[in-house]
């Protein structure tokens, strides 16, 4: 376990493009025998290091490799939510915007992954695609924005041993502005 933690810490602090295969991180993230905080770190690293705007949703699903951590009840469709809420991705006509909470049992400050995709798809269709299925409505949907929104600081009890939450690079999103 010590070597796993060291390897993850090295991957996260490395400013170079990802050289590790995403399967390395997804195998850890999908393993119920690994602590949830460590799995959480791996999911965030997959999104930060291997997923980009412009990918087809089925490509994103292949990278995630049948995510066991993905719970349908933790996926929220923001497309038709009335104003008054700030989320760090755009809600635009013709697209669907989702958030995915990771391991909510670790506490509300664990962060969320935001995802905006082309076209109108339902939460259930998104979950089905990310788990490896191909519902007709989601075929060809393109990831327009990916934004892992992580807290600035985790309570000590939630840290995985590799330094707490991951800083967000400016390169994770594309579009008019970079969000940090």
pLDDT at 111: 73
Per-residue DSSP letters for 116-142? Answer: EEES---HHHHHHHHTT---GGGTT-B
How far apart are alpha carbons 90 and 87 in whole angstroms?
8
Under-50 pLDDT residues of the chain: 2, 152-180
pLDDT at 28: 94
pLDDT at 145: 82
pLDDT at 69: 93
């Amino acid at each position: 376990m010590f070597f796993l933690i060291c390897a993850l810490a090295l991957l996260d602090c490395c400013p170079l493009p990802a050289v590790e295969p995403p399967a390395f991180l997804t195998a850890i993230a999908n393993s119920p025998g690994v602590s949830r905080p460590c799995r959480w770190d791996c999911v965030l690293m997959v999104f930060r290091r291997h997923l980009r705007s412009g990918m087809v949703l089925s490509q994103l699903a292949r990278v995630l490799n049948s995510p066991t951590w993905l719970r349908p009840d933790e996926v929220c469709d923001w497309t038709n939510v009335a104003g008054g809420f700030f989320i760090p991705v755009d809600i635009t006509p013709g697209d669907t915007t989702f958030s995915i909470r990771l391991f909510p049992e670790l506490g509300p400050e664990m962060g969320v992954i935001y995802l905006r995709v082309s076209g109108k798809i339902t939460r259930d269709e998104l979950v089905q695609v990310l788990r490896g299925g191909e519902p007709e409505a989601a075929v060809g949907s393109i990831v327009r924005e990916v934004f892992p929104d992580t807290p600035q600081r985790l309570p000590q009890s939630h840290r995985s041993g590799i330094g707490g939450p991951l800083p967000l690079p400016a390169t994770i999103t594309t579009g008019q502005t970079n969000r940090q």
